[in-house]
Chains A and B, each alone.
Chain A
Amino acid sequence: MASRKTSPNRDSRDKYSILLPTYNERENLPLIVWLLVKYFGESGYNYEIIVIDDGSPDGTLEVAEQLQKIYGEDKILLRPRATKLGLGTAYIHGIKHATGNFIIIMDADLSHHPKFIPEFIEKQKEGDYDLVSGTRYQGNGGVYGWDLRRKLISRGANFLTQVLLRPGASDLTGSFRLYKRAVLESLVERCVSKGYVFQMEMIIRARQLSYTIGEVPISFVDRVYGESKLGGNEIVSFVKGLITLFATT
Chain B
Amino acid sequence: MLLSSSLFSGFSPEIPAPAFIMTKLLEWLFGVSVVGAAWALVSFDLLDLSLPQTYREVAWPMPLYLLVSFGCYSLATVGYRVATFNDCDEASNELQEQIKEAKEDLRKKGLKM
Contacts and interface: CB of A to CB of B under 8 A. Distances in A.
Contacts, number: 104
B78 A155 contact: yes
Contacts of A140: 86
Interface residues of B, number: 37
A82 interface: no
Interface in A120-173: 130, 137, 140-146, 148, 151-152, 154-156, 159, 163-166
A233 interface: no
B77 A159 contact: yes
Given A156-B78, A246-B23, A30 B106 contact: yes
Contacts of B35: none
30 contacts: A30-B102, A30-B103, A30-B113, A63-B111, A110-B95, A130-B13, A137-B81, A143-B85, A144-B87, A144-B88, A145-B92, A156-B78, A159-B78, A164-B28, A166-B24, A186-B14, A208-B21, A209-B13, A210-B9, A211-B13, A219-B86, A221-B88, A221-B92, A221-B95, A224-B95, A224-B96, A246-B23, A246-B25, A247-B23, A247-B24
Chain A, interface size category, equals 35 or more
Contacts of A220: 88
Contacts of A165: 24
Interface in A30-50: 30-31, 34-35
A3 interface: no
